[in-house]
Amino acid sequence: MKNVKLAGKVGSTDQEAAEEFKKYLLSIIYEKGYMEEQVFNADETGLFYKNVGKRTYVMQMASKTPGFKSFKDCATLLLCANAKGDFKCKPLMVHRAQNPQALRGKNLNRMPVHWRWNKKAWMASKIFWDWFHNCFIPEAERYLHGKNLAFRVLLILDNAPVHCREELENAHPDIEVLFIPPNTASLIQPLNQGVIKAFKAHYTRELYSKAFEALSANEETTMMDYWKSVTIRNVIDYISTAWDSVKQATINNCWGNVWPDCVKIFEGFEGVTENITSSVKNIMHIAQQISGEGFSDMKEGDVEEILAEAAVEPTNKDLDEIAKQGNGVSDDEDGESQPETPRIIPLTAAKIAEWNSALEKIFNDMEKCDPVPERSLMFKRLTSTAFIPYAETLKDLRQKAKRVRLKQFFKPDWEGKLLTPSPNWENQTPEAELPDLTGHPP
């Protein structure tokens, strides 16, 4: 699936790619015995956290005033949950400010979101890499150990450039990452099948409810006054409440399209849609109780527009600009910067073979120079035993490489043309076999 060539218009080709991926995903799940608790999906979404609809008086007046962004500010959220739906990772929030006034003096590590930042409030590869290592892995590991399950994870991501594809393929021995083919996320990505929309419906309802409470408590307060008073700390609380409100059954049902057997309480897509429709009506009911200012005549389409907001896709130029900034990890409570997670070089067969050759050279030098043969032999035996996990990884990487070459040779692309091998394919020099570091005869 990593080498499928996608071409042509968005439509039947994307549907075919989606169907192929679903078959491939199920083959991986059943072949390797993944359970519903061990399969995760993560995805980004945009959140204009003060958006109350373009037709409202608040937004119309705000758009005419300087600093309009303060009325309709945005952030990027990364949400992640497992197929069973009983575990949701703490949301990651990428904001424009490193240390907003409302969060001064707060311990960012204890907030209900993982706080990251850059000037565009966009997801960046360094932020995603940091989330994978410092947020996702510890949370998933604690959850699975609490369930008395092995820490084996299958993580499904879309093909966004910021998802560090090369690095993630061998980033952790117990985590396998699958990437959805381009232009198919709306068809098969579980979080896109209703989870994100349900979250936004809960968030919008919370936002409107708090506004109605503020106006009811003080008749002199206007919606403009209330909107100016909402801080990023309030927004984080609303995000936490909304994410907690997304039901297990909603998440589990949204996996039905790619993994039907994992759905335990089947409500189907219609059930998920019905729940979201109910939330939309609830939002409209609250809005209609807010007298005047464009809320009383709010239409269903106005709410749907708010729920349909997606994450902004940065261009390559944007990504280059973001890369020049920090990794987006904010300062902690004591004002000391958290250590940046190193972006490792991908673990390849060539790299392990290089280590193996270096060890062989060390072993030969010891045999020549050490006057005590038993000592050098003991070192070789212990080191060779310790190197076995890398020798096994090398074997797996070479097997994967062979399968990739076979797929490239035999697999037709989506334009109906057979791939042709390189003219020198049969004459390529085979890789030299590594010496056996285990000490066992071949």
Tens digits of per-residue pLDDT, 240-267?
999 999 999 999 999 999 999 999 876 6
Range with lowest mean pLDDT among 109-113, 185-189, 215-219, 424-428: 424-428
Q: What is the mean pLDDT of residues 372-379?
A: 91
Highest mean pLDDT among 79-83, 211-215, 305-309, 438-442: 79-83
For a pLDDT cut of 70, what percent of the chain falls above it?
A: 64
Q: What is the mean pLDDT of residues 386-393?
A: 88
Does residue 92 have a pLDDT over 50?
A: yes
Q: What is the pLDDT of residue 337?
A: 42
Highest mean pLDDT among 106-115, 268-277, 318-327, 394-403: 106-115
- As a three-state string, the secondary structure of the chain is CCCCCCCCCCCHHHHHHHHHHHHHHHHHHHHHCCCHHHEEEEEEEEEECCCCCCCCHHHHHHCCCCCHHHCCCEEEEEEEEECCCCCECCCEEEECCCCCHHHCCCCHHHCCCEEEECCCCCCCHHHHHHHHHHHHHHHHHHHHHHCCCCCCEEEEECCCHHHCHHHHCCCCCCEEEEECCCCCHHHHCHHHHCHHHHHHHHHHHHHHHHHHHHHHHCCCCCHHHHHHHCCHHHHHHHHHHHHHHCCHHHHHHCCCCCCHHHCCCCCHHHHHHHHHHHHHHHHHHHHHHCCCCCCCCCCHHHHHHHHCCCCCCCCHHHHHHHHCCCCCECECCCCCECCCCCCCCCCCHHHHHHHHHHHHHHHHHHHHHCCCHHHHHHHHHHHHHHCHHHHHHHHHHHHHHHHHHHHHHHCCCCCCCCCCCCCCCCCCCCCCCCCCCCCCCC
> Which band of pLDDT confidence, cut at 50, 70 and 90, is reported for residue 295?
low
Range with lowest mean pLDDT among 47-51, 107-111, 180-184, 336-340: 336-340
Does residue 184 have a pLDDT over 70?
A: yes
Does residue 24 have a pLDDT over 50?
A: yes
Does residue 358 have a pLDDT over 70?
A: yes
Cβ-contact 38, 149 below 8 angstroms: yes
Q: What is the pLDDT of residue 333?
A: 36
Q: What is the pLDDT of residue 50?
A: 81
Range with lowest mean pLDDT among 16-20, 322-326, 394-398: 322-326
Q: What is the pLDDT of residue 225?
A: 82
> Which band of pLDDT confidence, cut at 50, 70 and 90, is reported for residue 309?
low
Q: What is the pLDDT of residue 30?
A: 96
Does residue 424 have a pLDDT over 80?
A: no
Does residue 318 have a pLDDT over 70?
A: no
Range with lowest mean pLDDT among 9-18, 135-144, 303-312, 336-345: 336-345
Q: Which residue has the higher pLDDT, 353 or 269?
A: 353
Q: What is the pLDDT of residue 334?
A: 37
Q: What is the mean pLDDT of residues 24-30?
A: 96
Report the DSSP pairing between strands 153-157 and 39-48: parallel
Angle between helix axes 349-369 and 388-410 (nearest 10 degrees) is 140
Q: What is the mean pLDDT of residues 361-386?
A: 92
Q: What is the pLDDT of residue 131?
A: 96
Q: What is the mean pLDDT of residues 122-142?
A: 95
Range with lowest mean pLDDT among 2-11, 248-257, 264-273, 295-304: 2-11
> Which band of pLDDT confidence, cut at 50, 70 and 90, is reported for residue 322?
low
Does residue 407 have a pLDDT over 90?
A: no
Q: What is the pLDDT of residue 132?
A: 96
For a pLDDT cut of 90, what percent of the chain falls above it?
A: 44
Does residue 422 have a pLDDT over 80?
A: no
- Residue extents of the structural domains in the chain: 12-323, 347-442
Residue pLDDT, tens place only, 28-42: 999 999 999 999 999
Q: What is the pLDDT of residue 442?
A: 46
Backbone torsions φ then ψ of 366, nearest 5 degrees: -65, -40
